[in-house]
């Protein structure tokens, strides 16, 4: 291999050859790359994605619905929906059935086959009438739209609520750990312990539910701590990894936070791919507002999925534009001829 390639990247090519994840030490060494070495790292991550996670250039696209908004008692520092923050957001209870069905129908008609119901708040430790309504909605959406994979992000769960979602055939359940575990309390929230989230991940997995679990970049973490997040997710053995980039919202403690360097964002995605060779890695918030002209680079740095059509409290990209974007990305996939 050419000596023009950094020796740390040469060593990491073992992932492409074997499908075995990076070691922690090598990931930390690669996190220090800069300048012309970064595109070489991205190239390797793209090759690993094509070989192990995206046959034929397949892209996992999903759309989410903010089905209950605002008035959350938790104090997550980045979140516009927290009652502890002064951000201006819409506040409403669980959407009526008709609106949820219509929202799902709109994305289904445009070819999106993953649809997530998201609610603000701590979660559902026990069964409530509202939770039963959500489970009924999951079943109805599956019947109304054949082939639609219905997902949910409802916060912390208990044994019975997790079992009910599993029985309803939920496709994925999203609950993020956000940052390296030992930084959760000071960077994210202290109104609840991270262990509540970890317990929910394990509980769902025991019930056979695929878990979508990731984090957020730009809340004050270091590059090494991003590696720690990536390896914490590896220990959890999650199925889908969404990575968000902070979009600072006025009225939250992170208002006015400096943007993460694009080179650090793409390195993080590449390291995530090299640590999780065969997983779905999704680019979520920040794709349009932070990455802007560089968002395509993320999809060539190991990502093989994205959220489309909007986020919880911020606008996203048009679904039609994203579908064309996905189609063009196929030209960068490995030939299977």
Q: Which among 47, 52, 68 is positioned nearest to 119, based on CA atoms?
A: 68
72 annotated ligand binder: yes
Tokens of 63: 């759309």
Distance (Å, whole) CA 186 – CA 167: 36
Which residue is it, tokens 């993953």?
114
Whether residue 271 contacts residue 31, with contact meaning beta carbons closer than 8 Å, is answered with yes
76 annotated ligand binder: yes
Quote the DSSP letter at residue 70. Answer: S
Question: What is the residue-wise DSSP string for 156-203?
Answer: EE-HHHHHHHHHTT-SEEE---BS-GGGHHHHT-SSS-HHHHHHHHHH
212 annotated ligand binder: yes
Distance (Å, whole) CA 251 – CA 256: 10
**CB-based contacts of 195, cutoff 8 Å, min separation 6:** none
213 annotated ligand binder: no
Quote the DSSP letter at residue 56. Answer: G
Size of the chain, expressed as the number of residues it contains: 337
79 annotated ligand binder: yes
The helix/strand count (H/E) of the chain reads as 12, 11
Known binding residues for [2Fe-2S] cluster are 151, 212, 282
Known binding residues are 72, 76, 79, 151, 212, 282
Known binding residues for [4Fe-4S] cluster are 72, 76, 79
């Amino acid at each position: 291999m050419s000596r023009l390639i950094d020796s740390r990247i040469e060593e990491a090519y073992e992932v492409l050859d074997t499908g075995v994840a990076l070691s922690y030490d090598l990931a930390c060494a690669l996190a220090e790359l800069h300048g012309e070495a970064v595109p070489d790292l991205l190239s390797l991550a793209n090759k690993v994605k094509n070989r192990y996670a995206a046959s034929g250039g397949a892209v996992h696209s999903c759309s989410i619905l903010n089905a209950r908004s605002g008035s959350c008692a938790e104090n997550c520092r980045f979140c516009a929906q927290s009652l502890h923050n002064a951000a201006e957001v819409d506040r409403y209870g669980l959407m009526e059935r008709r609106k949820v069905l219509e929202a799902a129908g709109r994305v289904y008609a445009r070819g999106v086959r993953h649809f997530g119901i998201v609610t603000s708040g701590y979660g559902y430790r026990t069964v409530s009438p509202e939770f039963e309504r959500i489970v009924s909605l999951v079943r109805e959406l599956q019947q109304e739209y054949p082939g639609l994979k219905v997902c949910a992000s409802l916060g912390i769960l208990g044994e019975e609520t997790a079992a009910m979602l599993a029985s309803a055939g939920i496709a994925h359940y999203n609950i993020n750990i956000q940052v390296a575990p030992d930084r959760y309390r000071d960077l994210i929230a202290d109104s609840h312990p991270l262990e509540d989230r970890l317990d929910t991940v394990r509980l769902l997995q025991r019930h056979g539910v695929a878990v979508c679990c990731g984090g957020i970049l730009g809340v004050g973490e270091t590059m090494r701590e991003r590696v720690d997040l990536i390896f914490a997710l590896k220990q959890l053995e999650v199925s889908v990894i969404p990575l968000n980039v902070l979009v600072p919202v006025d009225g939250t403690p992170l208002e006015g936070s400096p943007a993460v360097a694009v080179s650090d964002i793409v390195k993080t995605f590449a390291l995530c791919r090299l640590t999780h060779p065969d997983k779905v890695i999704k680019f979520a918030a920040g794709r349009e507002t932070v990455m802007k002209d560089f968002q395509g680079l993320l999809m060539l740095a190991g990502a093989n999925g994205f959220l489309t059509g909007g986020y919880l409290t911020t606008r996203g990209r048009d679904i039609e534009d994203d579908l064309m974007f996905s189609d063009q990305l196929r030209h960068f996939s490995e030939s299977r001829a």
